[in-house]
Amino acid sequence: MTIVVASCSDFDIKERGTASYAASDLYVVSGYDVDREAPGYDSLYIPDLDLRIYAERKIFPELSNDAFSTVIYFGHKGNINRDYGFFIGDSTRKPCLLRIDNDSINIDLFEQFQTAPLHSFCLDMNGHISFTPKRSQNIKETWLFNNWTYDLNLLTSDWTAKDDITITGTTGRRIRIADGVTLTLNNVAIYNSFVCNGNATIVLAPDSKNLVRVSTDYTHGFMNGGQGTTLIIEGSGELTADMSSDRDRAGIGGNNGDIIIKGGTITALGGDGGAGIGASRTGTTGKITIEGGNITAIGGFNSAGIGTGDCWWYNDIGEVSSHCGDINITGGAIIARGGYNGAGIGTGYHSICGTITISSSVDSVITYRGYNANSIGSGNGGTCEAVIIEEGAKVIQN
């Protein structure tokens, strides 16, 4: 027995009783996302039916204000009819039909189904949609959604990436990365904070151009995790982390964890009082390691290009310095420019960093110092534990 719930040709969805179809006429569609907490979409085209199927996962307020929902739409090769769709359901909500009328969404529950997601559906040669148990010998063709795109344009609120995925798109929402997640950026623009909740790996997709930019005072930019965690940035794409219109924050960094950069073309601009890569004003960052990539780091006022930010004077407790751990540069082509009173690599004004080591294996390191600061080492009034430049290292200090 097959329960027919839809006709793709005009999407005149009704509960139309039961019918039986020849097994050889059935196409099975599955593979759409049923439980990932991420905004995304995928589509596939079945030539025999001249049918385009589009799956979209995001927060539909009519279905839930905080839970992601997957909705299926249909159309021809170049045209998707988004006036009608069906929600596949989940562990707490029944599947239902969605009808869009004058920007409002009407919901008709599929009462014959239990509360659970529909992991697949069937199509016959006439484009009827049905849900029924199937045996392998009854399937003419199986079609899978296997090119899912997670798109920030679909976000309607701040979001936490909890799975290893690739994201694209533009958003003004805050993005967080759960502990241990690897997130691949493929042409992403984020006009808000990008925050690691723990260990995180950022992969810059090949040929991609990615941007994190904040212009709100005291808002974190591309922030690493807390003490004992590591942010790794790798890949071959581009990343610009621009806090230059902000105050106090680092372009990349600003928290107590370590930072390792392995590749990519990266431009990091600190805000007023923040390092390009490293610590924010009065903040602390762990060890900074650069193993490869083409890196340009420019510190904000009183801050290093790579290293610490600015200090600050508080009437009740006195001066509070910015701190970072050891800085190790073992590869890549580096340009680091300190802000006023800041070293190119090292400390900002009246701040403290560990040992700076530049290996002979680097492609090049070019540094520029601020007023009364060292090009590599301590900024004006700052303290650097030691500076080690290996013999043969290609270093130019300005």
Question: pLDDT of 64-86, one tens digit each?
Answer: 888 999 999 888 766 777 778 88
Q: Are residues 281 and 309 in the same domain?
A: yes
Instruction: Give yes or no: residues 192 and 305 share one domain.
Output: yes
Which of 175-186 are b and which e, b meaning 16 or more Cβ less than 10 Å from the residue's Cβ? bbbbeebbbbbb
Q: What is the mean pLDDT of residues 219-245?
A: 92
Instruction: Check whether residue 243 and residue 275 sit in a common domain.
Output: yes
Same domain membership, residue 213 and residue 131: no
Compute CA distances 237 → 132, 161, 207, whole Å.
45, 20, 5
Whether 151 is in a domain gets the answer no
* Cα–Cα distance for residue pair 241/176, rounded to 1 Å: 15
Amino acid at site 191: Y
For residue 315, what pLDDT is reported?
Answer: 64
pLDDT for res 298 = 97
Long-range Cβ contacts of 176-181 (<8 Å, 24+ apart): 177/202, 179/225, 179/229
The mean pLDDT value for 321-330 works out to 96
Query: What one-character DSSP code corresponds to residue 48?
Result: G
Q: Looking at the structure, tell me whether residues 79 and 186 fall in a common domain.
A: no
**Stretch 278-291: mean pLDDT:** 95
Same domain, 223 and 310: yes
Q: What proportion of the chain, given as a percentage, has pLDDT over 70?
A: 88
Provide the residue range defining the domain that includes 371.
158-397
Pairing relationship of beta strands 149-151 and 40-46 according to DSSP bridges? antiparallel
Q: Distance between CA atoms of 18 and 132, rounded to whole angstroms? A: 11
Q: Same structural domain for residues 8 and 136? A: yes
Task: Over range 103-118, report the average pLDDT.
Answer: 81
| Single residue among 144, 172, 194 that ends a domain in this structure | 144
Q: Are residues 29 and 167 in the same domain?
A: no
Q: What does the block give as tokens for 112? A: 């014959």
**pLDDT tens for each residue of 46-60:** 888 888 899 999 998
Same domain, 190 and 127: no
Does residue 263 contact residue 234 with C-beta atoms inside 8 Å?
yes
Looking at the fold, whether 53 and 167 belong to one and the same domain comes out as: no
Pair (50, 171) in one structural domain: no
- The phi-psi region of residue 392 (left if phi > 0; otherwise alpha if psi is between -120 and 50; otherwise beta) is left
Q: Model's pTM, two decimal places?
A: 0.87
Question: Is-contact 173 189, C-beta < 8 A?
Answer: no
